[in-house]
Structure 1
């Protein structure tokens, strides 16, 4: 290896981090070493382009990413579940108050089913609005239990107004709406 006091050649100048103090150049303690390779900041101003800048030859390709799912299916499922739950609660309450004197065990069973249906429907609606995966299952469970309440109502042979016979269509519509692919896409995105 060459002596440190000898003049540096072109080959060894590149490998050094700092010049040797040979007496020809004073080494300042405060200044950065005058090397040409290991600069940490620019040494001069940026060059200014002469003339107008032309458009690049290529154009930017628009970003094609995943599209947001359509919320209409989730909104329809939510509305149907809320209206279905309301109708089920009204019918169950009317059934319990009308039949309590004759068959309290049947009324307790209907009240239990109404409470489970309400809990499943409410938690399903909240989970659907929060885009949770279990939302559709909870809505379907609440609607199936509501259909059981209506079946118990019809089996009991209660005298009902004609519009009540159409109310089981609401839980059935909730089940269909929760099973739609649009609702599934809505609840699967995180």
Structure 2
């Protein structure tokens, strides 16, 4: 199986590579357009800041490559957020696959202020989707983020942190997860396995 990880200036690539290796898959890390579009599966990881990442993608026409993908594509963390319409992080127009906005967590309850970013394990409420085959509802995944995607028609899983937000999205061949499956133990491994089996 030919799996490509999109190489750009916001990839948390090493841990994703290791997670795939544990599943017996050797992925190619590349920003080559032909190589990306000829892959069986595309992984679009991300850690960092939205506007810098979007500028980098546009300069290399990787924005067009990602949105024209016909094979299963998985955005992780910032990668998922960049697949949405817009992010409040530095007022960034994103790729527009998922029709929703990415907002910053705010402290509405000052008596019990949220720690921002959310860092650590939180449970996910899942829907019936091939990405979650053999995953238990309420399973715990590992999160690191200050911004979240609002709940919308593409939401396939939600998490509560101050508010309910989308922790997984799916539209056509595009999937996104806010948590880090590569750092989410057995649950994350199963989700990656499911993605590779799509």
Fold shared per TM-score above 0.5: no
Q: TM-score, normalised by structure 1?
A: 0.22
- Which structure has the highest helix share of the two? 1
Bigger Rg, which one: 1
Structure number with greater CO (CA < 8 Å, separation at least 6) is 1
- Which structure has the highest strand share of the two? 2
